[in-house]
């Protein structure tokens, strides 16, 4: 059981709640901390006694309209209707539904924001959200429609629509899409629910969808980075690369933590390798183009995609550390508006801008850039292994037999080049592209939701690129086995190779149906099977 208190939520917990299920299909259970429950109830009692009565002072969102309508007073008898109408007017999203892991993370994060005690919804709202999370009622939320300024208003309005059991709202439940009311009935929960003062605004006002996507995407990026280090090491083995570039002395005099850690990972992964040695490099492969003299000249200074990999993977590591710090603060923040704070003799309400998603937008824009670059250098290594003049004699396109009849992996590379090109377009910064909305009351917006969504698209592409580097490097090792088979792989690379070959056979008899192999290569990264096996053998590579 995970207890939510508004202060201690971690990204790891968000990922667990969003994705983890028991063998029986049960989701990780979540409860609201007792102290948070008490705090929220005390705030709410004061709000109802002092501010939701005739002649109460105007308080934004409680008894006034929103945005440009902030000066429009709302009578006590219309407050509940106002909250209900918010759901109608704000459910204006478009596009395909968000994935269910994002929806679950959104539910959890909204509950955690309420645990701070500053948003003042009724405790019944929290309990309703908890019941949705714990039973697996996942609102159908269109992915487009938020500019990440007054929070993710449109997406969260769909969450609110399911919360109340609106006749037009839909939810996913046990793998099926159905009406919200049917989902509640199937879960044994009352199908409808009434919003009261501040309830609706509290639910829809916050950059919670942006944060949900961001947390999951940052988590996935860090795992893919480990795979990228392993794939790099396999590519070094395939091309008999020089390991001197990864010696500690080089990195200790430019002591960026990420660079140092990447180089250390390569050393661990290739420990014991005899393929990345002068003896192995002295072997002349049939397709090798090096001019041979009586004395074989030493091979020095591999291309940048190999030699400078620590200086490219390393900044990704350090940037992810920064991103994690930003998101760690956001995880335990109150992002509603207005917010309620205790005083010596009661409470006061303050209007501010904690809903603004600029922190998330800039973090995701940075993540988009670093992951695009990680995919780009991986693609360069893939391409290098397909060209005998660049790979020190690996067969052209890694064709094992009958060139011409067989084409090899050139089109697989083209597909990865297309993904790199797509990523380059997607990494245009969303957070710097403000557009005014709502009568210019919201004259600067963050576009955090789009920043997070496209970062997730980029990360998905990079997972495929890195998986394809696994596929290509393993093939390169196999097609040179006759000439280099006596040279051993390293402690980590040997485990990685074996795991890849458990999933994907080598193409030694001719071209294979590559669509299936590319899908299996992606699964190696998404499931984490290679990195799990390798880290079990050599230790943590994060």
Q: How confident is the model at residue 440 (pLDDT cuts 50, 70, 90)?
A: confident
Q: Which residues lie below 8 Å from residue 23, measured CB to CB, with a gap of 6+?
A: none
Mean local confidence (pLDDT), 366-378? 99
Q: What is the pTM of this model?
A: 0.96
Token pair for 188: 């044994």
Can you tell me which residue has the tokens 């704000």? 90
Distance of CA 183 to the CA centre of its chain: 28
Mean local confidence (pLDDT), 286-305? 74
DSSP state of 489: P
pLDDT in tens, 378-391: 999 999 999 999 99
Q: Are the C-beta atoms of 479 and 398 separated by less than 8 Å?
A: yes
What pLDDT, on the 0 to 100 scale, is given for residue 199?
A: 94
What pLDDT, on the 0 to 100 scale, is given for residue 66?
A: 84
* Cβ atoms within 10 Å, residue 70: 13
Distance of CA 12 to the CA centre of its chain: 12
**pLDDT above 80: residue 67:** no
Q: How confident is the model at residue 292 (pLDDT cuts 50, 70, 90)?
A: low
Q: Are the C-beta atoms of 367 and 319 separated by less than 8 Å?
A: yes
Q: What is d(CA 530, CA 75) in angstroms, rounded to the nearest whole number? A: 62
Q: Are the C-beta atoms of 262 and 486 separated by less than 8 Å?
A: no
pLDDT in tens, 468-511: 999 999 999 999 999 999 999 999 999 999 999 999 999 999 99
What pLDDT, on the 0 to 100 scale, is given for residue 294?
A: 52
Can you tell me which residue has the tokens 């074996």? 498
What pLDDT, on the 0 to 100 scale, is given for residue 142?
A: 97
Distance of CA 24 to the CA centre of its chain: 26
Q: Which of 78-82, 135-139, 257-261 has the lowest mean pLDDT?
A: 78-82
Residues assigned a catalytic role? 60
Whether omega for the bond prior to residue 148 falls within 30 degrees of 0, making it cis, is: no
Q: Are the C-beta atoms of 242 and 276 separated by less than 8 Å?
A: yes
Mean local confidence (pLDDT), 42-48? 93
Mean local confidence (pLDDT), 509-518? 97
Q: Which residues lie below 8 Å from residue 134, measured CB to CB, with a gap of 6+?
A: 27, 29, 30
Q: Are the C-beta atoms of 125 and 202 separated by less than 8 Å?
A: yes
Mean local confidence (pLDDT), 194-219? 95
Mean local confidence (pLDDT), 95-113? 98
Q: Are the C-beta atoms of 46 and 40 separated by less than 8 Å?
A: no
The whole-chain average pLDDT of the chain stands at 95
Residue 487's nearest CA partner among 266, 237, 265, 288 is 237
Q: How confident is the model at residue 298 (pLDDT cuts 50, 70, 90)?
A: low
Token pair for 251: 């990195």
Query: Which position has the higher pLDDT, 457 or 435?
Result: 457
Domains assigned to the chain: 2-206 (1.10.275.10), 215-289+296-339+349-538 (1.20.200.10)
């Amino acid at each position: 059981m995970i207890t939510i208190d508004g202060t201690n939520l971690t990204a790891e917990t968000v990922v667990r709640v969003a994705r983890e299920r028991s063998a029986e299909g049960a989701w990780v259970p979540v409860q609201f901390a007792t102290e948070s429950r008490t705090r929220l109830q005390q705030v709410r009692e004061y709000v109802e006694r002092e501010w939701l009565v005739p002649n109460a002072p105007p308080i934004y969102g409680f008894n006034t309209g929103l945005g440009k309508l902030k000066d429009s007073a709302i009578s006590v008898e219309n407050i509940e209707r106002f909250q209900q109408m918010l759901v109608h007017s704000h459910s204006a999203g478009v596009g395909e539904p968000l994935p269910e892991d994002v929806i679950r993370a959104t539910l959890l994060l909204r509950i955690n924001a309420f645990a701070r005690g500053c948003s003042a919804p009724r405790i019944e709202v929290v309990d309703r959200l908890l019941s949705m999370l714990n039973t697996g009622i996942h609102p159908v939320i269109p992915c487009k429609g938020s500019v990440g300024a007054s929070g993710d208003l449109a997406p969260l309005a769909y969450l609110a629509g399911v919360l109340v059991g609106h006749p037009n709202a839909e939810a996913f439940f046990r793998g099926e899409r159905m009406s919200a009311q049917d989902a509640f009935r199937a879960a044994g929960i009352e199908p409808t629910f009434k919003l009261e003062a501040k309830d609706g605004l509290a639910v829809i006002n916050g950059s919670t969808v942006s944060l949900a996507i961001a947390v999951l995407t940052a988590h996935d990026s860090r795992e893919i980075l480990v795979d990228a280090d392993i794939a790099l090491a396999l590519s070094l083995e395939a091309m008999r690369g020089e390991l001197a570039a990864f010696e500690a002395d080089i990195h200790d005099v430019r002591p960026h933590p990420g660079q140092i850690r990447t180089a250390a990972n390569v050393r661990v992964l290739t420990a014991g390798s005899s393929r990345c040695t002068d003896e192995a490099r002295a072997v002349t492969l049939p397709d090798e183009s090096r001019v041979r003299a009586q004395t074989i000249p030493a091979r020095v200074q591999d291309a940048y995609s190999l030699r400078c990999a620590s200086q490219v993977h390393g900044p990704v590591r350090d940037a992810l550390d920064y991103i994690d710090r930003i998101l760690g603060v956001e995880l335990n923040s109150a992002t509603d508006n207005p917010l309620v704070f205790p005083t010596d003799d009661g409470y006061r309400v303050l209007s501010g801008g904690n809903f603004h998603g600029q922190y998330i937008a800039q973090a995701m824009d940075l993540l988009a850039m670093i992951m695009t670059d990680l995919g780009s250098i991986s693609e360069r290594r893939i391409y290098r292994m397909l060209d005998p003049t660049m790979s020190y004699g690996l067969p052209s396109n890694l064709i094992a037999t009958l060139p011409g009849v067989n084409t090899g992996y050139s089109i697989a590379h083209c597909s990865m080049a297309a993904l790199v090109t797509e990523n380059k377009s997607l990494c245009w910064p969303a957070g710097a592209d403000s557009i005014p909305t709502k009568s210019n009351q919201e004259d600067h917006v963050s576009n955090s939701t789009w920043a997070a969504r496209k970062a997730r698209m980029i990360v998905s592409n990079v997972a495929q690129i890195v998986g394809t580097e696994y596929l290509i490097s393993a093939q390169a090792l196999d097609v040179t086995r006759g000439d280099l088979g006596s040279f051993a792989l390293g402690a980590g690379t040997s485990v990685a190779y074996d795991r890849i070959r458990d999933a994907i056979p080598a193409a030694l008899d001719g071209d294979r149906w590559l669509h299936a192999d590319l899908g299996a290569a992606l699964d190696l990264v998404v499931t984490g099977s290679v990195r799990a096996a390798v880290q079990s053998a050599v230790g943590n590579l994060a």
